[in-house]
Amino acid sequence: MMKDDKVENSDIMLRYKKSIDVDSLMTFILLLVLFISLGIIFEINRWQTEIIMIPIMFVTLIEYFLQDFIFHKSIGKRIYKLKIVTNIETKKKLLKALVMRRFYEATYHPLLNKDFAAIVSMIEAMTETKIVDDVKTKSAVNKQHKTQ
């Protein structure tokens, strides 16, 4: 039984690592498309382009850090069927925890940090959140409703 838990946990870790990569890639692609399209559309002076690009970068970064709070899941977590769970009840504390979690996810780099499980444990401890398999969470809730 213990071996199954370890295999399941390593599957969740692998999907979580991939979801971080997907989220980072999607944000990069969004910024790249916006920069190129605005540069082509406006074809204006360099200083005017910078005036437009700075707010776009700011909004994109805010969107990156607030995805889990606003949409309850980031794109990567939706694709890999993961969910963040927590016991935090107030929205202010939840917002802080999810933003801090995204910050720690953004600072993770596979070439610099080899032990991903240790990074995830640190993130979960510091933010009082946990990453779980969304499919199993939904099936457990459905079973509970059926028995009642």
Q: Where exactly are the structural domains of the chain?
A: 2-147
pLDDT band at 70 (very low <50, low <70, confident <90, very high): confident
Q: Tell me which of 147 and 124 has the higher pLDDT.
A: 124
d(CA 117, CA 133): 16
pTM: 0.75
pLDDT in tens, 71-87: 888 899 999 999 999 98
Q: Work out the average pLDDT over 86-109.
A: 88
Residue 24 pLDDT > 70: yes
**Percentage of the chain with pLDDT > 70?**
76
129 membership: H or E segment, kind and range: strand 129-133
Q: What is the pLDDT averaged over residues 47-71?
A: 82
HSE-up of residue 98 (Cα within 13 Å, Cβ side): 26
pLDDT tops 70 at residue 1: no
